[in-house]
Amino acid sequence: MIKINEHYLKLQASYLFSNIAKRVAAFQENNPDKDVIKLGIGDVTNPLPAACVKAFHDAVDEMATEAGFRGYGPEQGYDFLRETIVANDFQARGAEVNSDEIFVSDGAKCDSGNIQEIFSLDTRVAIPDPVYPVYLDTNVMAGRTGGYNDDRYDGIVYLESTRENNYVPDLPQEQVDMIYLCFPNNPTGSTISKEQLKVWVDYARDNKALILFDAAYEAFIRDESLPHSIYEIEGAREVAIEFRSLSKTAGFTGTRCAYTVVPKECMAYDQNGGRHALHALWNRRHCTKFNGVSYPVQRAAAAAFSAEGKVQTKALIDGYLENAKIIGKAIGQLGFEYVGGDNSPYIWIWGDRDSWDFFDLLLDKAGVVCTPGAGFGKCGQGYIRISAFNSRENVITAMDRISSALS
């Protein structure tokens, strides 16, 4: 008799964004004449940068010739992309990362979910609340949690991110082995200073713990005093793995290209205390379960780092940040407290009411889709998240509708 992995039965309902999509689909079916503006899921709306499109086309043309055709590529990524990433994303900022420590993949979501496979099932996990659901759900699937009680899973250490701590969690009060951090944060849009991040790095070094650092939104940082990478912090190479993505940076949500950095100094331990390099373990997993990102996509990704590509990519990000300012201004004028939007594409709004009720109100009265904060965790109850990923025209229209509905 074939049996299921019963840890999947602990998962609460459907994945957050699938649930939102079902609600929106039902609304549109019942209201076919109403136009809906989606500011919920963090999906970009602008076309790929022209430099990336050209590189994509050129690479496909190469593949159409005998001389230029490529079959299976290196699972870790082509050297031309890995070297370009290191030079532009790390060495240019004084962060020590080597090209062979880059693992190119089809998404930071995939990597942040898959990375937990190389760790023991009795690993004590600390996860922020509110949080990007993938961090939590993949550990539930793996069996690192107990049952679900009072909106939380037993066995997880929750790091509360609230107004009181400016949405940067405090160190855990109990021993943990693996810590998820995301800055600029999804969903709150909050940022972390170098001094604050160093506290976490020092904690991990002192406790032989590991930090999984999600930097998917680092390109939105405009305050140059803020760290773009955890490797700007002394000692981080020993205790941190970093995830990056071109999805929000260069519009690759549908094209799929990201990468994970696993420094060779980064260690974990076996049951006898023996040290093992995580770089080798992740490389083994990557080679076994992943066939690599396609050559044309990697050529397009590399073009995002060209002189032309940088200008075009920055223009895309600046446009989304301008949208965020429009949203923040309108929300502030309505009297709501909010955070984010200045170094992040997300605006985290205190609604002082049930999150799903607020979601339904904006959908029903304004035809605008947001994301209910409760979907990100217990500390998200009472909040909604509005995304800046849409056209300027749609954002202005959406905020006019919200202002009318809530005035």
Residue with tokens 């990433």: 85
Measure Cα distances from 201 to 118, 122, 205, 241, 275 in Å: 21, 22, 6, 11, 19
Tell me how far apart the alpha carbons of residues 375 and 130 are, in angstroms, rounded to a whole number. 8
pLDDT at residue 41, rounded to an integer: 82
CA torsion angle 280 281 284 286 (round to 10): -110
Contact 317, 386 (CB under 8 A): no
pLDDT at residue 329, rounded to an integer: 97
Query: Domain limits of the chain?
Result: 6-47+308-406, 53-306
Amino acid in the structure at residue 374: A
Whether residue 65 has pLDDT greater than 90:
yes
CA angle 301, 21, 257 (to 5 degrees): 10
Contact 388, 345 (CB under 8 A): yes
Binning pLDDT at 50, 70 and 90, where does residue 15 land?
Answer: low
Whether residue 16 has pLDDT greater than 80:
no
Binning pLDDT at 50, 70 and 90, where does residue 407 land?
Answer: confident
Q: Is 209 helix (H, G, I), strand (E, B) or coil?
A: coil
Whether residue 280 has pLDDT greater than 80:
yes
Whether residue 13 has pLDDT greater than 80:
no
Average pLDDT over residues 19-25: 87
- Each residue of 306-317: pLDDT tens digit? 999 999 999 999
pLDDT at residue 335, rounded to an integer: 96
Binning pLDDT at 50, 70 and 90, where does residue 301 land?
Answer: very high
Does 218 or 151 have the greater pLDDT score?
A: 218
Whether residue 19 has pLDDT greater than 90:
no
Contact 105, 256 (CB under 8 A): no
What CATH number was assigned to the domain covering residues 6-47+308-406?
A: 3.90.1150.10
Is this prediction's pTM over 0.85?
Answer: yes
Whether residue 14 has pLDDT greater than 70:
no
DSSP state string for 63-90: HTSTTT---S--TT--HHHHHHHIIIII
Residue with tokens 């609604």: 351
Amino acid in the structure at residue 176: V
Whether residue 156 has pLDDT greater than 80:
yes
Chain Cα centroid distance, residue 208:
25
Average pLDDT over residues 68-86: 97
Whether residue 385 has pLDDT greater than 90:
yes
**Which of 188, 246, 236 shows the shortest CA–CA distance to 215?**
246
**Which of 386, 38, 402, 44 shows the shortest CA–CA distance to 189?**
386
Percent of the chain with pLDDT over 70: 99
The CATH-assigned architecture of domain 53-306 is 3-Layer(aba) Sandwich (3.40)
Average pLDDT over residues 364-375: 94
Give me the phi and psi of 122, to 5 degrees please.
-95, 15
Average pLDDT over residues 36-45: 91
- Please list, in sequence order, all residues whose beta carbon lies within 8 angstroms of the beta carbon of residue 64, skipping any fewer than 6 positions away: none
pLDDT at residue 20, rounded to an integer: 86
Question: For helices 307-333 and 50-63, what crossing angle results, to 10°?
Answer: 140
Average pLDDT over residues 5-18: 83
